[in-house]
Structure formats: structure tokens, C-alpha cells
């Protein structure tokens, strides 16, 4: 059984946008730098590099894992990334974006141009990675009124190594239970691609409400809230073959949220399923510092995965997560094996 890093990252570079052509070039992000030691007003002290996208400045240097080689984390040197994966005892990484963890644009044509270039970039990375660098595709959420366009984009992604669809905990200024997203969920189910809610926030109002440094409220709570809302409103029952992942928020909240759901179901005259995670095809990425045996006993031994957050540096990052998980002597070996391999293969549809 392969060891799967269920949450790794790639850091976008100018090469990411090199696939834009023709009229799309007007949407190509540009790099903007301020003089060293002179941060832009209202920005973090050390922030001197930005993306200029659709009239907005978006930080480039935020949350970079400097314990990784630049060529490896930006995937300009794929051989170096694969060699580092070997050192970390990782067979396959599932790559998530960095830039798109926050609001970028509210113009559908700009979003589509950015996403199509990003997806083509990841497709080439997958081809060069010998199958070891799988990835979560970006869907053009502002174009869901044209399901044919969205399906064609995701068809291309799946044919080129994508094994999931990335979404933030809030997307396009909407809650993820809204019927607006049902066409995407239908397409994902048809393509056998899980919907992967990664710590992030694509609501400009909510994102900008919280001050810098409050990443828990800004990025992680929206994903936990989406878990609760999807299950309570029984949206997964509408898409019975679709798998759902909740990534980079830890798993210690699961006992509380499942208990809260049980009480809320009871107040509505219903009973929560005996296996709420399994019945809803839910998977959650845990962290090595958590009481995993206890959480697995509540969530199910087949419902947890783990990731390194490779390329980033925040409270979810543990570059040695695979080794540390294997060394946990207080957890049954079969639980560890499931988290490192079988569960991730089931979630992402990977060959064991």
C-alpha cells in the first residue's frame, strides 16, 4: 500500500500563468515588488512581493515553508521534489494551490483564465512527476451557469492526473449547501472526483473581516461549518456516490461537531446515522499531534487521512508527518496503515 501525503502544496510562480494566450493575456498576474525594508502601508512588515490580479494586490510571500527547497516547493525542479518525497517516505502527494486559498476575482472571465492556466500547469507537473504528483483541480465556480464548460475543464483535469476538486470553506461568497453548487457536485460524482474542502475562504466580506493572524476564524472555521451544514441539510444524500474531504483543519473538532449534529437531528425528530461519516462519504485530514485513536474510534478507522502541508509553514504543517505517524506506538498498526494509505486511496480514487 503506498504512503499518501493527502495535503501538500505547490507555490504559484510566473510559470503558472504561462499557459494564457490571446485575449486571456489581459488577466495574466504580474509581480509587483516594494523596495526591501519598505513594506506597503497596511501590510505585514516583511511583505514586499505581491501578485497584481484584476486590480488587487495579493501577497506572494505569505506562509512559505522555508524548510523546503525553493525549486521543490515551486515545482520548478520536480526531480528535487521527488527526491525529498523519498526522504520523507512519501510515495504520492496530492497537491493543493496556495494562491486560491483567498478571494481573487469576481469577474468570471478572469477567474476562468486563471484557473485554466493553473490546471494546465498542474497537468504538466503530473506528467513530469511519473504519477507521484497528483492534484486537486480548480473548477470555474463563477461559470456554473454553463455546466458544459465546467465539465470540459474537469474532464481535461482528470485525464491529466487530477484526483479531486479543490474548494474553500466558503466559495464565491456562498455557502456550500446552496443549490448553486449542485451542478458541480453532479459533475464531480459523474467523474468520480471528490469535492475537497481545504482550509481557505473565498468570501471577500468574511475574509477581510478578520485581522491578519486570525487564521483559525478566517480559514479553518468555514470548513468545519461546511461539514456541519452539509450533513445537517443532508446534501450528500442527493449525490450518494460523491466523496467529500475536509482538509487542513485537523480532526479534534469531530467529536464535538458530530455530537452537536446528533442533538440537532434529534430536535428535528430525526436520528443521526450510526455511521455518519461513512454514510455521507466524508473524510477528514487529521494531524499527528491529535488523539488519533480516540478520534478514529468516533469517526471510523476508514475516515481519516493525513498530510504534511508541504511548502507552507503554519499550525497545520508537519513535514515529517508520515514518519511521525508510523512511529506512534499508542495507535493500532492497522489504523496507521489505513490513514497513511488505504483511506487516502479510497478518498482520491488512487490505485492501492
Q: Domains in the chain, please, with CATH? A: 4-11+20-26+63-348 (3.20.20.140)
Q: Taking the CB of residue 331, how many other CB atoms lie within 10 A of it?
A: 17
Question: Can you list the residues of the chain whose pLDDT is less than 50?
Answer: 42-45
**Contact call for residues 98 and 51 (beta carbons, < 8 A):** no
Map the chain to HEC letters: CCCEEEEEECCCCHHHHCCCCHHHHHHCCEEEECCCCCCCCCCCCCCCEEEEECCEEEECCCCCCCCCCHHHHCCCCHHHHHHHHHHCCCCEEEEECCHHHCCCCCCHHHHHHHHHHHHHHHHHHHHHCCCCEEEEEECCHHHCCCHHHHHHHHHHHHHCCEEEEEECCCECCECCCCHHHHHHHHHHHHHCCCEEEECCCCCHHHHHHCCCCCHHHHHHHHHHHHHHHHHHCCCHHHCCCCCEEEECCCCCCHHHHHHHHHHHHHHCCCCCCCCHHHHCCEEEEECCCCCHHHHHHHHCCCCEEECCCECCCCCCCCCCHHHHHHCCCCCCHHHHHHHHHHHHHHHHCCCC
pLDDT of residue 44: 45
Q: Tell me the pairing of strands 49-53 and 56-59.
A: antiparallel
Look up residue 58 and give its three cell numbers.
495579493
What pLDDT sits at residue 38?
57
Q: What does the alpha-carbon distance between residue 29 and residue 40 come to, in Å, rounded to a whole number?
A: 19
Spatial strand order in the sheet of 49-53: 30-33, 49-53, 56-59
**pLDDT score for 313:** 78
Query: Residues 66, 67, 73, CA angle at the centre, nearest 5°?
Result: 70
323: its cell numbers: 514518519
CA dist., res. 254 & res. 313, Å (int): 24
Amino acid at each position: 500500500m503506498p504512503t499518501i501525503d493527502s495535503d501538500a502544496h505547490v507555490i504559484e510562480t510566473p510559470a503558472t500563468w504561462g499557459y494564457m494566450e490571446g485575449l486571456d493575456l489581459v488577466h495574466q498576474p504580474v509581480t509587483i515588488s516594494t523596495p526591501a525594508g519598505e513594506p506597503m502601508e497596511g501590510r505585514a512588515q516583511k511583505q514586499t512581493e505581491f501578485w497584481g490580479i484584476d486590480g488587487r494586490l495579493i501577497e506572494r510571500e505569505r506562509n512559505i515553508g522555508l524548510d523546503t527547497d525553493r525549486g521543490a516547493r515551486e515545482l520548478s525542479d520536480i526531480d528535487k521534489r521527488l527526491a525529498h518525497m523519498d526522504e520523507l517516505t512519501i510515495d504520492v502527494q496530492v497537491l493543493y494551490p496556495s494562491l486560491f486559498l483567498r478571494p481573487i476575482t469576481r469577474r468570471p472571465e478572469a477567474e476562468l483564465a486563471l484557473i485554466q492556466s493553473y490546471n494546465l500547469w498542474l497537468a504538466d507537473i503530473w506528467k513530469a512527476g511519473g504519477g507521484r504528483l497528483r492534484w486537486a483541480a480548480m473548477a470555474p465556480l463563477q461559470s456554473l451557469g454553463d455546466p458544459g464548460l465546467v465539465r470540459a475543464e474537469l474532464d481535461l483535469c482528470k485525464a491529466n492526473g487530477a484526483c479531486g476538486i479543490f474548494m474553500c470553506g466558503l466559495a464565491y461568497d456562498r455557502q456550500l449547501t446552496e443549490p448553486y453548487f449542485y451542478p458541480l457536485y453532479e459533475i464531480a460524482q459523474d467523474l468520480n472526483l471528490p469535492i475537497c474542502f481545504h482550509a481557505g475562504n473565498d468570501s471577500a466580506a468574511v475574509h477581510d473581516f478578520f485581522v491578519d493572524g486570525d487564521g483559525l476564524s478566517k480559514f479553518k472555521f468555514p470548513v468545519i461549518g461546511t461539514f456541519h451544514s452539509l450533513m445537517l441539510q443532508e446534501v450528500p444524500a442527493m449525490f450518494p456516490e460523491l466523496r467529500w474531504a475536509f482538509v487542513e483543519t485537523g480532526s479534534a473538532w469531530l467529536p464535538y461537531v458530530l455530537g452537536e449534529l446528533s442533538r440537532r437531528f434529534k430536535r428535528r425528530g430525526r436520528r443521526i446515522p450510526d455511521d455518519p461519516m461513512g454514510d455521507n462519504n466524508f473524510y477528514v485530514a487529521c494531524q499527528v499531534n491529535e488523539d488519533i485513536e480516540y478520534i478514529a474510534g468516533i469517526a471510523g478507522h476508514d475516515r481519516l487521512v493525513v498530510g504534511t502541508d508541504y511548502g507552507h509553514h503554519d499550525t497545520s504543517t508537519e513535514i515529517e508527518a508520515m514518519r511521525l505517524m508510523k512511529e506512534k506506538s499508542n495507535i493500532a498498526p492497522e489504523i496507521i496503515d489505513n490513514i497513511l494509505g488505504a483511506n487516502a486511496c479510497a478518498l482520491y480514487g488512487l490505485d492501492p
